[in-house]
Amino acid sequence: MGEFADIKAKMVEKSGRQSPDTHSWGDHSLDLWDPFVVPKEEIDAEIERLSGIAAPNNGIRRTYFVHPKAEEGLLSFTPGMSCSLDVLLPGEETAYVRENASLVNFPILGGGQMAMGEAIFDVKQYDVLTTPAMTVHKYINNTDSVQARFRYSNQPMLDRLKIHWLDEDPPVPGAENNDVTDTAEEAGDSPKSPFGTFQLTDDGAFLKPYEELINPEPIEINPHSWPWGNVKEELDKLAALGSKYKGRRLYLLYDPSTGRTNGTNANFFSCITIRPEGIVDRPHRHASAAINYYFGGAGHSVVQGKRYEWKAGDLMLSAPGWAIHNHASDVGPVYEMTIQDMPFCINTDSLMWQEDLKGPISLLGSHAGFDTNREKVS
């Protein structure tokens, strides 16, 4: 990195109302990214193309699906998330890497293993695995079939902040020169500051010294795996909820370390939905963006009034942040895997959610949420 240039800040005045009309929800100020569908046929063709190229020097064959509205140089599927297709041939494995992005891995074809830290996870089609930030990891294909995997990351958000960090020569787990910092479990002996935090005002404002600022209480965040066979067994039970049920027939793949943010990892939630044939969800909207991969059935989505058809094997930006949307199953049952940046939005106190378009908007995580009619229809 070279020396910084001498620059001056620009001054941009924005006095007065910023909205050109009086719409109560302020939708006019949002530049929504258009939904789009990546058809199964294009995904299959890219798997075949990647399978045909020579193994790269790090073993990683990877193609990103990038939205046309993404800024130059950013690999964005949504403004804050990327989605790539990784392909690994039988008998191959990648080099170890680590980065400060959080990852969700979803194999759509084949299987194998993932090494994360010193743990080895077996991987089968439609399993979901998380890779916490700064975890040294690699992918392994010890099967006789091609492994194809979607890899979701918050890299675009970190790239916007100019803080994405990638280490392609990390310390190998178990090696003597391993410089990986202590986990939360090992950090119990961290020095505690004698200069404590104390309350400043009666309304609850506190002061905290620098010694505590640089030593926050660590939370242990481990890799996790949700095997599809186990998930499907529980998910299929939700098909019994009748057509009068007003909620979504899904399970959040939950990591308890994320607490109130309802995360699969610190930045995303992943959920798996079953939608019996003929089910039409009620329209709703939320500030978090959603990416859907359909691996059973067929149907359509209506997003901001426009209809999009999809089928098993298609990938879709199904809900740009704050876009009104609903999904319907025309051929069932539909199975879909959804990635959404809800935990990030809760952490930034920005998760607007409107479950009923005739009802209130809630700031989930700070305000009261919503209920369903499940008790009445179960």
Q: What is the pLDDT of residues 261-289, one digit of tens each?
A: 999 999 999 999 999 999 999 999 999 99
Q: Is the peptide bond before 90 cis (omega within 30 degrees of 0)?
A: no
Residue 180 pLDDT: 52
CA 129 to chain centre: 12
Residue 174 pLDDT: 78
Cα–Cα distance list, 142 to 54, 61, 91, 92 (Å): 18, 16, 5, 7
Instruction: List, in order of start, the domains of the chain with CATH numbers.
Output: 33-166 (2.60.120.10), 225-366 (2.60.120.10)
Vertex 252, ends 77 and 66: CA angle to 5°? 5
Kindly state the tokens that stand for 269.
């939630």
**What is the total residue count of the chain?**
378
Cβ atoms of residues 329 and 297 within 8 Å: yes
Q: Say what the pTM is.
A: 0.91
DSSP state letter for 135: -
Cα–Cα distance list, 103 to 1, 84, 155, 273 (Å): 27, 11, 9, 20
Q: How far apart are CA 100 and CA 133, in angstroms?
A: 5
Residue 114 pLDDT: 98
Q: Residue 25 carries which side chain, given as an amino acid letter?
A: W
Task: Give pLDDT tens digits for 25-67.
Answer: 445 556 789 999 999 999 999 999 999 999 999 999 999 999 9
Kindly state the tokens that stand for 43.
């995904």
Residue 307 pLDDT: 97
Cβ atoms of residues 349 and 317 within 8 Å: no
Low-confidence ranges of the chain (pLDDT < 70): 1, 13, 19-30, 175-194, 378
